[in-house]
Amino acid sequence: MLKPEKMIRIRVIGANSRRHDIVTVLHDLGAMQIENVSDDLKGILSASKNSEDFYRATQYLQKARGFETQLYPRKVEERRYFQSSEELFNSFESLDLGNLLEPLKRQEEELFQDKNEFEKKLAAARLLAPLGKDLSIYDSAAVKSFIAVGVPEDTFPSQVNTSLGGACIPLDLNHRLVCISRDETENLARLAESHELTLHLIPQLKGSPEVEIRALGEKLSETEKELATVQAELGKLSDRYYALIAQIREQLEIEVKKFEVVEKFGSTEDSFAMEGWVPLRSLQAVTSGVEKASGGRCVVSTVDTKEKPPTMLHNPRRIRLFEFFIRFYSLPEESEFDPTMIFAFIFPVFFGLMVGDYGYGLVILLSSLWILRKLKPGAKNHVPRRIKKFVNTIMSRSSLEVLARALVPASLSAIAFGIVFNGFFGFALLPFTLVDVRTSLPKLILASGYIGLSMVSLGLVMGFIESWYNGHRKHAIGRIGWLLLAIGASIFGLDMIHHATSSPLQYVSVGMILSGLALVIAAEGGNGAVEIPSIISHILSYTRIVGILMASVILAFVVDTSFIGGLHSISGLVIGVLILVVGQLFNLVVAVFEPGIQGARLLYVEFFSKFYHGNGKPFKPFSTRRIYTTRQYEPESEASGKTG
């Protein structure tokens, strides 16, 4: 768990007649990142070419996507199993859905156009009805009329009259009738734009408003009935075909993907070769699957390469969400430690220490649980649109979910430390106080120093193990030197605090410092000597934990004191409540962001820098997330009933 998955590069050589079967197995296993074949094979193999089935699948996929878009969405109750590409193609060809769907969709589109036209005419006729004029006068050989939407400035009507020689008549608070000569259309458009108005051309109307409104209403009603009939027929088709089309479309996408990956292969007239990265623990499953698909007509071998393998993290399910923070920093390479587990345990502790109040912790916990509930598919969401838009500009939905999940253990840690410190929004409500933050400041600073020494030492030990294991012995010796320096400097500083005069412990610490300095210079030269002050600053940097805790405690104390001081009068009570609410909200916001940012920083900078380089490339297995279909290949242990 503290190391990424061990990756191995393999080569598969098989018969072209079994190529698609082998690719299908590899796709459904989802355990191989397929790469271009190595240079030593490119000279003797030619590029692989796809069969006619590739173009057939591409053509069918385009049609299937069109059908799925045209049908009304329906819930797909079960997944479908397609045994082969040929079965998939036959299933699609037998539908003949185009002849059923296209006439109805064409008719639906025409009815929608008619409906929109009648609605526009009806809206215009109703706006013009109070004027009592024949509707045909608004569109003639000489006159063109518009409805201006918006609240114009007082100068707009006069400008229409004087500059354009037209007329501007108010219809209601938000609409104006504008009649002008046809030659002035472009000038009117510029004038309306300068006044931030929208112009709508009045469609061709005729006769009295009452007669036209009644006729348009009847046409609209008739069109809506015809549209409902067509949509009912489309609904029946959707009930019958949507699930199958969605299943076929998904499997066609997978088939096209399987055909496209062949471009990375090398081939001869009868055989092909492919290469890629596989997790070591999946090698047996991949080998047995490929051999089964090829009928034993293949060779699977490992490839010696100096190329850096991709990184695949392997952590328990509940720890996996913290991989987000590691990826945000940088993925480890395969030869490095995976710090996800350490981050998952240490970050909540740092967060809880810096918040140190079970009132704030409880609010953060409830807020996180509320966010997770609202992010569930199908959950009712009453959050104002502006707030959602603001949040979405900061982070994506998935990032917000990860952050909320990470804050759950962090808030529980804040509640635990809040009970220890007896802090509830700054009030001491419990009958006991295990640690009084305001009177125990020296001890807390000392404790944070020990935390810093422990974290820096752990990072250096991990750096030593990693360097030694990877054969970088000189760098490993440098890590030992840094460790001696860190421990020696800490012992010396602590002993100086307790003893004004020299003591035997000081001689020991000076010896550790000099030994460490010698090892650092021997391993890293002058550059290492220049970086020596940084090891002390990294240890002392952990005292910010107490600094942030004290800032929160003092701010809460000031706010609470102001509130209590105002209880003697009504005006004082009003001001005190205002200070209490605003002050506590501000402190709560600080309690979310500052501990989160600083807690992550202490791990990223002061801890990771001792052993972590990153720059790993993510492992991208050849696979597809299925929603409507089942895998065509399953290992024997997983094989179960398949529905067709």
Given a cut of 70, whether residue 188 has pLDDT beyond it is yes
pLDDT band, very low/low/confident/very high, at 21 (cuts 50, 70, 90): very high
At which residue do the structure tokens 């969709």 appear? 105
Positive or negative CA dihedral for 346, 350, 353, 357?
negative
Once rounded to an integer, what is the mean pLDDT over residues 249-255? 97
Asked if residue 271 belongs to a domain, the reply is no
Once rounded to an integer, what is the mean pLDDT over residues 548-569? 90
Question: Would you state the pLDDT for residue 38?
Answer: 87
pLDDT per position as a tens digit, 94-106: 988 989 999 999 9
Q: Please, which residues have CB within 8 angstroms of residue 442's CB and are 6 or more apart in sequence?
A: none
Return the CATH number at 163.
Answer: 3.30.70.250
pLDDT per position as a tens digit, 582-627: 999 999 999 999 999 999 999 999 999 999 988 999 999 999 999 9
pLDDT band, very low/low/confident/very high, at 637 (cuts 50, 70, 90): low
In this structure, the answer to whether residues 210 and 343 fall within a common structural domain is no
| Burial classification of residue 76, based on how many CB atoms lie within 10 Å of its CB (0-12 exposed, 13-18 middle, 19 or more buried) | middle
In this structure, the answer to whether residues 206 and 330 fall within a common structural domain is no
Asked if residue 351 belongs to a domain, the reply is yes
Question: Would you state the pLDDT for residue 643?
Answer: 39
- The helix (H) or strand (E) run that includes residue 8 is strand 7-15
d(CA 553, CA 194): 56
d(CA 560, CA 544): 24
Two tokens, residue 143: 């006159």
In this structure, the answer to whether residues 207 and 325 fall within a common structural domain is no
Pairwise pLDDT comparison (381 vs 161), residue with the higher score: 161
Asked if residue 590 belongs to a domain, the reply is yes
Asked if residue 119 belongs to a domain, the reply is yes
Question: 461 lies in which domain range?
Answer: 320-610
- Is the Cβ–Cβ distance between 77 and 239 less than 8 Å? no
Asked if residue 627 belongs to a domain, the reply is no
Asked if residue 20 belongs to a domain, the reply is no
- Of 200, 216, 232, the position where a domain reaches its end is 216
* Mean confidence (pLDDT) of the chain: 90
In this structure, the answer to whether residues 447 and 577 fall within a common structural domain is yes
- Of 216, 237, 257, the position where a domain reaches its end is 216
Positive or negative CA dihedral for 85, 91, 96, 101?
negative
- Is the Cβ–Cβ distance between 16 and 270 less than 8 Å? yes
What is the total count of domains within the chain?
A: 2
pLDDT band, very low/low/confident/very high, at 459 (cuts 50, 70, 90): very high
In this structure, the answer to whether residues 325 and 178 fall within a common structural domain is no
d(CA 190, CA 181): 15
- Is the Cβ–Cβ distance between 358 and 419 less than 8 Å? yes
pLDDT band, very low/low/confident/very high, at 388 (cuts 50, 70, 90): low
**Residue (of 232, 235, 261, 255) closest to 64 by Cα position:** 255
- Is the Cβ–Cβ distance between 614 and 328 less than 8 Å? no
In this structure, the answer to whether residues 201 and 340 fall within a common structural domain is no
Two tokens, residue 307: 């190329």
d(CA 218, CA 226): 12
